[in-house]
Amino acid sequence: MFAVPPKHILLATDLSEASAPAAAYAGLLARRFGARVMVVHAEHLELPPYFAPEQHERLREEAAAARERATRLVAESVAGALGFVPEARVVEGHPADAIASCARECQADLVVMGTHGRRGVRRLWLGSVAESVVRECERPVLTVHAGTRVEAPTVVELVGNPLDVRANEIAATWAQAFGASLQCRAPDAGPSPSTESPALIIAAGDHPERGLRRTTQPFLALPLSR
Protein backbone atom coordinates (compact mmCIF):
# COMPACT_ATOMS: atom_id res chain seq x y z
CA MET A 1 0.00 0.00 0.00
CA PHE A 2 1.02 3.62 -0.39
CA ALA A 3 0.19 6.75 1.56
CA VAL A 4 -2.04 9.48 0.14
CA PRO A 5 -0.77 12.17 0.06
CA PRO A 6 2.74 10.75 -0.43
CA LYS A 7 5.22 10.93 2.43
CA HIS A 8 8.11 9.12 0.73
CA ILE A 9 8.97 10.09 -2.86
CA LEU A 10 11.39 8.15 -5.04
CA LEU A 11 12.92 10.38 -7.71
CA ALA A 12 14.45 8.43 -10.61
CA THR A 13 17.10 10.18 -12.69
CA ASP A 14 19.11 9.24 -15.78
CA LEU A 15 21.46 12.21 -15.16
CA SER A 16 20.30 13.91 -18.35
CA GLU A 17 18.72 17.36 -18.69
CA ALA A 18 15.36 15.62 -19.09
CA SER A 19 15.47 14.73 -15.38
CA ALA A 20 15.67 18.35 -14.20
CA PRO A 21 11.92 19.17 -14.47
CA ALA A 22 11.08 15.90 -12.69
CA ALA A 23 13.47 16.85 -9.86
CA ALA A 24 11.90 20.29 -9.62
CA TYR A 25 8.42 18.74 -9.46
CA ALA A 26 9.56 16.30 -6.77
CA GLY A 27 10.84 19.29 -4.78
CA LEU A 28 7.49 21.03 -5.22
CA LEU A 29 5.66 17.94 -3.93
CA ALA A 30 8.08 17.47 -1.03
CA ARG A 31 7.41 21.00 0.18
CA ARG A 32 3.66 20.79 -0.36
CA PHE A 33 3.19 17.36 1.27
CA GLY A 34 6.04 17.43 3.80
CA ALA A 35 7.52 14.35 2.12
CA ARG A 36 11.09 13.08 2.08
CA VAL A 37 12.82 12.36 -1.22
CA MET A 38 15.25 9.63 -2.21
CA VAL A 39 16.90 9.79 -5.62
CA VAL A 40 17.87 6.65 -7.53
CA HIS A 41 19.97 6.13 -10.65
CA ALA A 42 20.05 2.74 -12.36
CA GLU A 43 22.88 1.50 -14.52
CA HIS A 44 23.35 -1.82 -16.26
CA LEU A 45 26.73 -3.50 -16.62
CA GLU A 46 26.98 -5.85 -19.58
CA LEU A 47 29.89 -8.25 -19.05
CA PRO A 48 31.43 -9.74 -22.21
CA PRO A 49 30.52 -13.46 -22.36
CA TYR A 50 34.05 -14.38 -23.41
CA PHE A 51 35.60 -13.01 -20.19
CA ALA A 52 36.90 -15.51 -17.67
CA PRO A 53 35.12 -15.80 -14.27
CA GLU A 54 37.95 -13.97 -12.50
CA GLN A 55 37.67 -11.10 -15.00
CA HIS A 56 33.92 -10.89 -14.37
CA GLU A 57 34.53 -10.71 -10.63
CA ARG A 58 37.16 -7.98 -10.98
CA LEU A 59 34.91 -5.88 -13.19
CA ARG A 60 32.03 -6.24 -10.74
CA GLU A 61 34.25 -5.14 -7.86
CA GLU A 62 35.44 -2.12 -9.83
CA ALA A 63 31.84 -1.25 -10.75
CA ALA A 64 30.77 -1.48 -7.09
CA ALA A 65 33.57 0.90 -6.05
CA ALA A 66 32.62 3.33 -8.81
CA ARG A 67 28.97 3.10 -7.75
CA GLU A 68 29.86 4.29 -4.25
CA ARG A 69 31.59 7.35 -5.68
CA ALA A 70 28.72 7.95 -8.10
CA THR A 71 26.11 8.05 -5.31
CA ARG A 72 27.33 11.45 -4.10
CA LEU A 73 27.37 12.78 -7.66
CA VAL A 74 23.79 11.58 -8.26
CA ALA A 75 22.56 13.43 -5.17
CA GLU A 76 24.39 16.59 -6.21
CA SER A 77 23.07 16.39 -9.78
CA VAL A 78 19.45 16.98 -8.65
CA ALA A 79 20.07 19.10 -5.55
CA GLY A 80 19.74 22.40 -7.42
CA ALA A 81 16.38 21.50 -8.97
CA LEU A 82 15.09 19.87 -5.78
CA GLY A 83 16.18 22.67 -3.50
CA PHE A 84 18.06 20.36 -1.13
CA VAL A 85 20.51 17.45 -1.19
CA PRO A 86 18.56 14.16 -1.00
CA GLU A 87 19.47 10.67 0.06
CA ALA A 88 20.70 8.81 -3.03
CA ARG A 89 21.15 5.30 -4.37
CA VAL A 90 22.91 3.97 -7.45
CA VAL A 91 21.62 0.52 -8.32
CA GLU A 92 22.57 -2.05 -10.93
CA GLY A 93 20.00 -3.37 -13.37
CA HIS A 94 17.89 -2.44 -16.37
CA PRO A 95 16.39 0.96 -15.48
CA ALA A 96 12.67 0.10 -15.52
CA ASP A 97 13.13 -3.09 -13.47
CA ALA A 98 15.56 -1.42 -11.05
CA ILE A 99 13.31 1.60 -10.45
CA ALA A 100 10.22 -0.55 -9.82
CA SER A 101 12.22 -2.83 -7.51
CA CYS A 102 13.69 0.10 -5.58
CA ALA A 103 10.24 1.65 -5.15
CA ARG A 104 8.98 -1.61 -3.69
CA GLU A 105 11.98 -2.18 -1.41
CA CYS A 106 12.03 1.33 0.05
CA GLN A 107 8.21 1.41 0.27
CA ALA A 108 7.90 4.62 -1.71
CA ASP A 109 4.46 6.20 -1.91
CA LEU A 110 5.21 7.85 -5.26
CA VAL A 111 7.77 7.54 -8.07
CA VAL A 112 8.68 10.73 -9.96
CA MET A 113 10.67 10.57 -13.17
CA GLY A 114 11.25 12.47 -16.38
CA THR A 115 10.35 11.40 -19.87
CA HIS A 116 12.16 12.42 -23.03
CA GLY A 117 8.93 12.46 -25.00
CA ARG A 118 10.32 10.45 -27.91
CA ARG A 119 7.88 9.54 -30.65
CA GLY A 120 7.72 7.28 -33.67
CA VAL A 121 10.67 5.15 -34.72
CA ARG A 122 12.99 6.70 -32.15
CA ARG A 123 10.67 5.65 -29.31
CA LEU A 124 10.27 2.15 -30.73
CA TRP A 125 14.02 1.72 -31.18
CA LEU A 126 15.11 3.09 -27.80
CA GLY A 127 12.08 1.95 -25.88
CA SER A 128 10.45 4.02 -23.15
CA VAL A 129 11.66 3.54 -19.59
CA ALA A 130 8.84 5.76 -18.31
CA GLU A 131 6.16 3.63 -19.98
CA SER A 132 7.74 0.44 -18.64
CA VAL A 133 7.84 1.80 -15.09
CA VAL A 134 4.20 2.88 -15.35
CA ARG A 135 3.25 -0.65 -16.42
CA GLU A 136 5.36 -2.52 -13.87
CA CYS A 137 5.40 -0.37 -10.74
CA GLU A 138 3.00 -1.09 -7.89
CA ARG A 139 3.11 2.55 -6.79
CA PRO A 140 1.75 5.71 -8.42
CA VAL A 141 4.18 7.05 -11.02
CA LEU A 142 4.38 10.74 -11.89
CA THR A 143 6.12 11.49 -15.19
CA VAL A 144 7.24 14.99 -16.09
CA HIS A 145 7.97 15.79 -19.73
CA ALA A 146 11.37 17.21 -20.66
CA GLY A 147 11.12 20.98 -21.07
CA THR A 148 8.14 21.31 -18.71
CA ARG A 149 7.90 24.58 -16.82
CA VAL A 150 7.27 23.37 -13.29
CA GLU A 151 4.36 25.14 -11.60
CA ALA A 152 1.76 24.13 -9.04
CA PRO A 153 -1.24 22.82 -10.99
CA THR A 154 -4.39 24.90 -11.09
CA VAL A 155 -6.33 22.05 -12.72
CA VAL A 156 -6.33 18.36 -11.73
CA GLU A 157 -7.96 16.15 -14.35
CA LEU A 158 -8.87 12.57 -13.51
CA VAL A 159 -9.11 10.26 -16.53
CA GLY A 160 -10.81 7.00 -15.64
CA ASN A 161 -13.99 5.31 -14.52
CA PRO A 162 -16.09 7.97 -12.74
CA LEU A 163 -17.26 5.25 -10.32
CA ASP A 164 -13.70 4.42 -9.21
CA VAL A 165 -13.97 5.61 -5.59
CA ARG A 166 -10.27 5.16 -4.81
CA ALA A 167 -9.09 7.13 -7.85
CA ASN A 168 -11.59 9.90 -7.09
CA GLU A 169 -10.34 10.15 -3.50
CA ILE A 170 -6.72 10.41 -4.67
CA ALA A 171 -7.56 13.05 -7.28
CA ALA A 172 -9.57 15.05 -4.73
CA THR A 173 -6.68 14.92 -2.25
CA TRP A 174 -4.19 16.25 -4.80
CA ALA A 175 -6.59 18.96 -6.02
CA GLN A 176 -7.25 20.11 -2.46
CA ALA A 177 -3.53 20.19 -1.64
CA PHE A 178 -2.89 22.61 -4.51
CA GLY A 179 -6.16 24.51 -4.33
CA ALA A 180 -6.82 23.33 -7.89
CA SER A 181 -10.09 22.68 -9.66
CA LEU A 182 -10.96 19.01 -10.17
CA GLN A 183 -12.25 17.72 -13.48
CA CYS A 184 -13.20 14.14 -14.39
CA ARG A 185 -13.23 12.57 -17.83
CA ALA A 186 -13.94 9.05 -19.04
CA PRO A 187 -11.08 7.45 -21.06
CA ASP A 188 -13.27 7.26 -24.18
CA ALA A 189 -14.49 10.86 -23.98
CA GLY A 190 -11.79 12.14 -26.30
CA PRO A 191 -9.01 14.59 -25.59
CA SER A 192 -9.51 17.26 -22.99
CA PRO A 193 -9.85 20.87 -24.11
CA SER A 194 -6.51 22.60 -24.46
CA THR A 195 -5.67 25.00 -21.66
CA GLU A 196 -2.81 27.30 -20.88
CA SER A 197 -3.27 26.71 -17.17
CA PRO A 198 -0.76 24.36 -15.51
CA ALA A 199 -2.51 21.00 -15.14
CA LEU A 200 -1.90 17.59 -13.63
CA ILE A 201 -3.39 14.58 -15.42
CA ILE A 202 -4.25 11.59 -13.21
CA ALA A 203 -4.92 8.33 -15.06
CA ALA A 204 -6.55 5.28 -13.52
CA GLY A 205 -7.49 1.94 -15.01
CA ASP A 206 -5.96 -0.38 -17.59
CA HIS A 207 -2.90 0.65 -19.61
CA PRO A 208 -2.40 4.22 -18.32
CA GLU A 209 0.86 4.38 -20.29
CA ARG A 210 -1.25 4.96 -23.41
CA GLY A 211 -2.34 8.30 -21.98
CA LEU A 212 1.28 9.18 -21.30
CA ARG A 213 1.90 9.22 -25.05
CA ARG A 214 -0.86 11.78 -25.66
CA THR A 215 0.07 14.59 -23.28
CA THR A 216 2.98 16.79 -22.32
CA GLN A 217 1.40 17.74 -19.00
CA PRO A 218 2.68 16.17 -15.75
CA PHE A 219 1.03 12.74 -15.73
CA LEU A 220 0.24 10.69 -12.61
CA ALA A 221 -0.54 7.02 -13.35
CA LEU A 222 -2.27 5.08 -10.58
CA PRO A 223 -1.61 1.33 -10.23
CA LEU A 224 -4.49 -1.08 -10.56
CA SER A 225 -6.14 -2.02 -7.27
CA ARG A 226 -4.92 -5.39 -6.03
3-state secondary structure string, 127-155?
CCHHHHHHHHCCCCEEEEECCCCCCCCCE
Three-class SS state of 76: helix
Q: Are residues 123 and 202 in the same domain?
A: no
Q: Are residues 131 and 220 in the same domain?
A: no
Q: Are residues 136 and 182 in the same domain?
A: no
Q: Are residues 9 and 117 in the same domain?
A: yes
Q: With both helix axes pointing from N to C terminus, report the angle between 19-33 and 53-82 in degrees, rounded to the nearest 10.
A: 60
Q: Are residues 133 and 74 in the same domain?
A: yes
pLDDT at 97: 93
pLDDT digits (tens, 9 = 90+) for 30-46: 999 999 999 999 876 56
Q: Are residues 37 and 130 in the same domain?
A: yes
- Rounded Cα distance, 176 and 196, in Å: 20
Three-class SS state of 34: coil
Name which residue leads in pLDDT, 85 or 69.
85
Q: Are residues 59 and 139 in the same domain?
A: yes
Q: How many distinct structural domains can be found in the chain?
A: 2
Q: What is the CATH number of the domain that holds 125?
A: 3.40.50.620
Q: Which of 107, 122, 144 is the last residue of a domain?
A: 144
pLDDT at 192: 60
Is the sign of the CA dihedral 125, 128, 131, 132 positive or negative?
Answer: positive
Q: Are residues 167 and 140 in the same domain?
A: no
Q: Which of 106, 122, 144 is the last residue of a domain?
A: 144
Q: Are residues 136 and 157 in the same domain?
A: no
pLDDT digits (tens, 9 = 90+) for 207-219: 777 777 778 899 9
Q: Are residues 57 and 158 in the same domain?
A: no
pLDDT digits (tens, 9 = 90+) for 142-191: 999 988 999 999 999 999 888 889 999 999 999 999 999 999 988 776 55
Name which residue leads in pLDDT, 193 or 216.
216
Q: Which of 121, 144, 167 is the last residue of a domain?
A: 144
**Cross-strand bridge partners of residue 157:** 183, 201
CA 95 to chain centre: 12
Name which residue leads in pLDDT, 124 or 68.
68
Q: Are residues 81 and 165 in the same domain?
A: no
Name which residue leads in pLDDT, 75 or 121.
75
Domain that holds residue 215: 151-226
pLDDT digits (tens, 9 = 90+) for 41-76: 987 656 556 656 666 566 666 566 666 677 888 898
What mean pLDDT is reported for the chain? 84
pLDDT at 171: 96
- In this structure, the number of other CB atoms found within 10 A of the CB of residue 36 comes to 14
Q: Are residues 128 and 163 in the same domain?
A: no
- Rounded Cα distance, 177 and 154, in Å: 11
| pLDDT mean over 198-214 | 82
